[in-house]
Amino acid sequence: MPTNGHRTMDSSRHLRTAKQIGTGLCFVVFPLVFVFAFSVHPNLTAPRFLGPFDLIARAHRAGLLHFAHALVTLATALLVVVALHFMNLLEREGRPWWGFIGGALAILGSLALAADKGALCLSMSALDSLSDTEFENMMPGLLAMFSKRGWLFLIWGVLLLPVGFGIQAIGLLRTGALPRWQSVLFLIGVLFIGTPDGAELVNLVASLLMALAFVPYGVRLLRTSGDQEAGA
């Protein structure tokens, strides 16, 4: 009959396995969500600068785009898990400040990304229920929102996301904690993932690079979690 100590050890081992499975899934799912989200943007092969009015017009009655933005909003939680994982990994590799500073900035950027999608994207899906006349009457307010007036200027904090992950990517390169090719793809991808609206083809390519780096890593975490459970 198992003792309380054995039960505690088994519970702790199962919890570690569950955490590793969850982390592995984050590495697999989030880059694929980004690839999908950028791939459904219109005019991918015709990049151009988009002002507030252009962004409003593009998002009006764009059901698939709203769905993609909803997925990105949810995926910001997965970005936090990834940042924390690299923070712990770099601490074990003797580069704690690279992990901590990069992770802190990346998490703040993830929160700003969630705010961005909530304020400027999810809200647009609600306005699709209005008539054309009602929608046009709201245009002054929408232009103020998409110009990031008032406290919406905090959305610019999304720029911290590539900065933070870029710091962590450099730390991974310096320590060799990841295979060099994965760290390089991560660094290149994250530096271009913040390309401004209107050039989503660049964002799509950056997302594909990150998927090439992260999906195999996530699968490896999933496999090793199974090995740990089998060896328990």
What contacts 24+ positions apart, CB below 8 Å, involve 99-102?
99/168, 99/171, 101/164, 101/167, 102/164, 102/165, 102/166, 102/167, 102/168, 102/169, 102/171
Looking at residues 168-194, what average pLDDT do you find?
Answer: 94
Supply the pLDDT for residue 149.
Answer: 94
Looking at residues 196-201, what average pLDDT do you find?
Answer: 87
pLDDT in tens, 6-40: 566 667 777 888 999 999 999 999 999 999 999 99
Of the candidate ranges 11-15, 183-187, 227-231, the one whose mean pLDDT is the lowest? 227-231
10 part of a folded domain = no
Supply the pLDDT for residue 189.
Answer: 95
pLDDT in tens, 30-39: 999 999 999 9
| Residue 230's pLDDT band (cuts 50, 70, 90) | very low
Query: In a 3-state reduction of DSSP, which class is residue 42?
Result: coil
d(C-alpha 81, C-alpha 141), whole Å: 35
pLDDT in tens, 54-70: 999 999 999 999 999 99
How does DSSP classify residue 177?
Answer: S
67 part of a folded domain = yes
Task: Specify whether the CB–CB gap between 215 and 32 falls below 8 A.
Answer: yes
24 part of a folded domain = no
Task: Specify whether the CB–CB gap between 120 and 146 falls below 8 A.
Answer: yes
Does this model's pTM top 0.85? My answer is yes
Supply the pLDDT for residue 5.
Answer: 57
155 part of a folded domain = yes
Number of domains composing the chain? 1
Supply the range of the domain harboring residue 125: 50-230
Supply the pLDDT for residue 14.
Answer: 79
d(C-alpha 145, C-alpha 138), whole Å: 11
211 part of a folded domain = yes
Structure tokens at 198: 């209107």
Would you say residue 2 has pLDDT above 60?
no
Of the candidate ranges 142-151, 195-204, 208-217, the one whose mean pLDDT is the lowest? 195-204
Structure tokens at 119: 């304020």
Supply the pLDDT for residue 190.
Answer: 94
How does DSSP classify residue 121?
Answer: I
* DSSP codes, 47-66: -----HHHHHHHHTT-HHHH
5 part of a folded domain = no
Q: Torsions phi, psi of 134, nearest 5?
A: -65, -40
d(C-alpha 10, C-alpha 4), whole Å: 10
Give residue 160's identity as a one-letter amino acid code: L
For the chain, the average pLDDT equals 91
Handedness of CA 13, 15, 16, 20 (dihedral sign): positive
6 part of a folded domain = no
Task: Specify whether the CB–CB gap between 127 and 135 falls below 8 A.
Answer: yes
Supply the pLDDT for residue 196.
Answer: 84
- For the chain, the farthest-separated pair of C-alpha atoms sits apart, in whole angstroms, at 73
Would you say residue 78 has pLDDT above 60?
yes
Q: Torsions phi, psi of 93, nearest 5?
A: -90, 5
